[in-house]
Amino acid sequence: MGSLTSDLELKYNSGSFTNPLDSEEFRRQGHMIIDFIADYYKNVEKYPVRSQVEPGYLQKVLPESAPNNPESMETILQDVQQHIVLGITHWQSPNYFAYFPLSGSIAGFLGEMLSSGFNIVGFNRISSPAATELENIVMDWLGQMLKLPKSFLFSGNGGGVIQGTTCEAILCTLTSARDRVLNKIGRENISKLVVYGSDQTHCALEKAAQIVGIDVKNFRAIKTTKSSSYGPLCDVAKQFGIWVHVDAAYAGSACICPEFRHFIDGVEGADSFSLNAHKWFFATLDCCCLLVKDPRALVSSLSTNPEYLKNKAIESKQVVDYKDWQITLSRRFRSLKLWFVIGNYGVANLRHFLRSHVNMATLFERLVNGDKRGGTINEFNRELLESINASGKAYMTHAVLGGIYAIRFATGATLTEERHVVVAWTVVQQHLEAFLSAFKP
């Protein structure tokens, strides 16, 4: 016999239970969430861009234990507004210029919503044929938009897969590159393998190298500049059988514009190419598009074939099983949001959006170059940046280039307009003037 407490709980639940997927309740609460998000975007410009809360702030306002009885969605949303929004750094703010943009869009959000609504697990084709086939199609679309060689497309015996992030894409390709060599020289020789990367490459490459078992001493950084071309590098790599991966996570999206396509000239010599559609292609996180010339290399390294996943489609070898193109078994219906974005806006509009962001970056460059104090600003950059970010009026991050601590200004937030760029420069000038005044003898 159960305890008095459990009996009371059972009696309470049996009288007030609503199915968690009741369609009418979903409709009611869904409208509330959409209204909340719409209002958030309407007012996001009013919030400090970088969250100003202290560590541990949320523990002081939320209960120490989970509620035993249900709370209404209205109550939960009140807590979100009062406590969660306070602790968010607003990546969608028009005054956000840090790291990289997460250029959201209505189409991207709705595609994500529909994907979550279907809530499928598309590890193989039979689990949801539409998920596999739509991913095949939109990845070929993207490759065509980028004018990649046909060898990267399904129509040319290559193919594409949507990973979560660049970190996953690099790990998958590095695993395949490792195995391609070890299958020739023997797995006992893994200590002889070397990974080369640009001295400006993302730390994800070095991390992936460690994960796949490459000795940290065998990671070599090659000095590169913005004028470095893939062509000569790929030619050398081909001579030695080296796998070349092009990581175009952020800027790659701009290459759908003909005037920017030259930035990936020489990619035809690479083995794989990736870009994050959630950064600057108006899809929501997460959506990393990886295209490879030899899908068999991925499948050879990453495939699993347990009895419970065997079926006639797999045995026919005529279909793609995306579980064999990635680290994890389970996968989301990510292609929906990419399809929504491309279909709802079209290539012409996507190019227009990207060009407008480039124009805003050029505007900021002109404003900076027009300031005659450029030689002095480097002495105070670290303190200057923290002062700007603490103000909440704009958010930027930094990089160290050639030993110089530089402030990075990344345009690409969907809501950003030229006026926000001008205001951001005004904020920089105001804080710079305050610093220079403080340091006057």
User: ∠ CA(31), CA(35), CA(37), 5° rounding?
Assistant: 120
Res. 7 pLDDT band, cuts 50 70 90: low
Contact 211, 171 (CB under 8 A): yes
Contact 435, 384 (CB under 8 A): yes
Question: Which one of 3.40.50.720, 1.20.1340.10, 3.40.640.10, 3.40.50.300 gives the CATH number of domain 17-46+52-87?
Answer: 1.20.1340.10
Q: Give the amino acid at 290.
A: L
Res. 440 pLDDT band, cuts 50 70 90: low
Give, for 159, the enclosing helix (H) or strand (E): strand 159-163
* pLDDT > 70: percent of the chain: 93
pTM: 0.91
Listed in order, the ranges of the chain carrying CATH 3.40.640.10 are 121-332
Res. 1 pLDDT band, cuts 50 70 90: very low
pLDDT exceeds cutoff 80 at 227:
no
40-74 burial, b for 16+ CB within 10 Å, e for fewer?
A: bbeebeebbbbbeeeeeeeeeeeeeeeeeeeeeee
Give, for 6, the enclosing helix (H) or strand (E): helix 4-16
Q: Residue 222 gets which letter from DSSP? A: E
Res. 2 pLDDT band, cuts 50 70 90: very low
Cα–Cα nearest to 170, from 231, 132, 214: 214
pLDDT of residue 435: 82
pLDDT, averaged across the chain? 90
Token digits of residue 175: 């695993």
Token digits of residue 97: 């210029």
Contact 397, 98 (CB under 8 A): yes
CATH topology of domain 121-332: Aspartate Aminotransferase; domain 2 (3.40.640)
pLDDT tens figures, 14-23: 556 689 999 9
pLDDT tens figures, 303-341: 988 888 787 777 777 789 999 999 998 899 999 999 999
Res. 441 pLDDT band, cuts 50 70 90: low
Contact 194, 217 (CB under 8 A): no
Res. 96 pLDDT band, cuts 50 70 90: very high
- Collect all residues with Cβ–Cβ distance below 8 Å to 400 and sequence separation of at least 6: 406
Res. 4 pLDDT band, cuts 50 70 90: very low
Listed in order, the ranges of the chain carrying CATH 1.20.1340.10 are 17-46+52-87
pLDDT tens figures, 243-299: 999 999 999 999 999 999 999 999 999 999 999 999 999 999 999 999 999 999 999
- Distance between CA 251 and CA 411 in Å, rounded? 11
- Distance between CA 408 and CA 416 in Å, rounded? 16
pLDDT of residue 211: 95
Kind of pairing between the strands at 397-401 and 404-408:
antiparallel
pLDDT tens figures, 157-182: 999 999 999 999 999 999 999 999 99
Task: Average the pLDDT over each of 72-81, 213-222, 228-237, 362-371 and give the range with the smallest value.
Answer: 228-237
Which span out of 172-181, 228-237, 379-388 was modeled with the highest average pLDDT? 172-181
CATH topology of domain 348-439: Aspartate Aminotransferase, domain 1 (3.90.1150)
- Collect all residues with Cβ–Cβ distance below 8 Å to 272 and sequence separation of at least 6: 169, 173, 243, 244, 245, 246, 290, 291, 292, 293
pLDDT exceeds cutoff 80 at 46:
yes
